[in-house]
Amino acid sequence: MKTILAYYSNNGSNRYLAKKIADRINCEIEQIRPRLNIHLFLLFGINFGNKKLRHNLAEFDRVILCGPIWMGKFISPLRSFVKKYKSRINELIFVTCCGSGFEMKDKKFGHGLVFNEVKNILKDKCIHCEALPITLVVPEDKKEDPNVVMQTRLSDENFKGEIEEIFENFIKKVTIPD
């Protein structure tokens, strides 16, 4: 299965995750680069599209899309990517290192709502969505502290325990055919 991983990351956690996935499954990787990469604009959905990709997505059986969630939204760089290339995408898997934990999944800013949005846009082409919440690497006594949660980034030092298990299961899911 010819796969490409496309990612967007503002603070580095989704870049870390994207590279880790691409390394493990040995696939091409492409950074999504907004034309105007100003976080505040992107946060409010003001986006002038993304720069041209180096790869032609139609040549791949599967796209793995990786990026954060902001304010309960499928963020504008990822949304622009999907809308522009929908017809060239054969199959898509969405994976996110987000702030919302599993218990928050279906609440207002939870990743579950974004997963529904991705599935709505891509219909049957979206075959799987996976969350690796950053809270999994935050120490137990700091999980309720929003400042600590917002400042934590994935790294080799903290990518251990439950998050690593979820990652390994995810890798199995994307490499072993159903």
Ligand X SMILES: Cc1cc2nc3c(=O)[nH]c(=O)nc-3n(C[C@H](O)[C@H](O)[C@H](O)COP(=O)(O)O)c2cc1C
Cα(42)–Cα(84) distance, integer angstroms: 17
Provide the minimum distance between the beta carbon of 158 and ligand X in the complex, in angstroms, as a whole number: 12
Q: Give, as one character, the DSSP assignment of residue 165.
A: H
Cα(150)–Cα(163) distance, integer angstroms: 17
**Which amino acid, residue 167?**
F
- Spell out, one character per residue from 125 to 144, where the chain touches ligand X: x when CB under 6 A holds, - when not: ---------x----------
Q: Point out which span in 44-52, 94-102, 120-128, 135-143 binds ligand X (CB under 6 A).
A: 94-102
99, 130, 137, 167: which one contacts ligand X (CB under 6 A)?
A: 99
Q: Give, as one character, the DSSP assignment of residue 50.
A: B
Question: Which of 64, 136, 126 is CA-nearest to residue 95?
Answer: 64
The residue sitting closest to ligand X, measured at its beta carbon, is: 99
Sequence-ordered list of residues with C-beta below 8 angstroms from that of 115, at least 6 positions apart, any chain: 94, 129, 131
- Spell out, one character per residue from 3 to 42, where the chain touches ligand X: x when CB under 6 A holds, - when not: ------xxxxxxx---------------------------
Interface residues with ligand X (CB under 6 A) are 9-15, 43, 68-72, 97-100, 109, 111, 134, 153
